[in-house]
Chain A
Amino acid sequence: MARAVGIDLGTTNSVVSVLEGGEPTVIANAEGARTTPSVVAFAKNGEVLVGEVAKRQAVTNVDRTARSVKRYMGDHSWRFPRDGDIDGKRYTAQEISARVLQKLKRDAESYLGEDVTDAVVTVPAYFDDAQRQATKETGATAGEEAAGGSSEDDVVDAEIVDDDKPEAG
Chain B
Amino acid sequence: MTGSGPQNPELAELRRLVEERTADLQRVKAEYDNYRKRVRRDRLAVREIAVANVLRALLPVLDAVDRACAHEPLTPGLEDIADSLKEQLGSLGVTSFGEVGDPFDPACHDAVAHHTSPGSDRLVCSAVLRPGYRLGENLLRPAHVEVAGPAPPARSAHGGDRGVRPSTAGGAPPFPIARS
Contact = CB atoms under 8 A, between A and B. Distances in A.
Given A31-B139, A59-B111, A64-B155, 11 more contacts: A32-B138, A46-B175, A48-B178, A59-B114, A60-B149, A83-B155, A83-B161, A84-B162, A85-B158, A86-B178, A113-B34
B117 interface: no
A60 B156 contact: no
Interface string A93-112: 00000000000000000011
A124 interface: no
Contact of A44 (B49, B175, B177): B175
Interface stretch (B7-15, B69-77, B102-110): B102-110
A46 B177 contact: yes
Interface in B86-122: 104, 106-107, 109-114
Most chain-B Cβ atoms within 10 A of its Cβ — which of A46, A57, A90?
A57
Interface of B: 27, 30-31, 34-35, 37-38, 49, 52, 104, 106-107, 109-114, 123, 138-139, 142, 147, 149, 152-159, 161-162, 172, 175-180
Interface string A53-91: 110111111111000000000000000011111111110
Interface of A: 1, 20-21, 31-32, 42, 44-46, 48-49, 53-54, 56-64, 81-90, 111-114
Contacts of A56: 106, 109-111, 142
Nearest to A95: B180
A86 B156 CA distance: 8
Nearest to B123: A60
Given A46-B176, A59-B113, A61-B152, A83 B38 contact: no
A112 B34 contact: yes
A60 B152 contact: yes
A20 to B, nearest CB: 6
B116 to A, nearest CB: 10
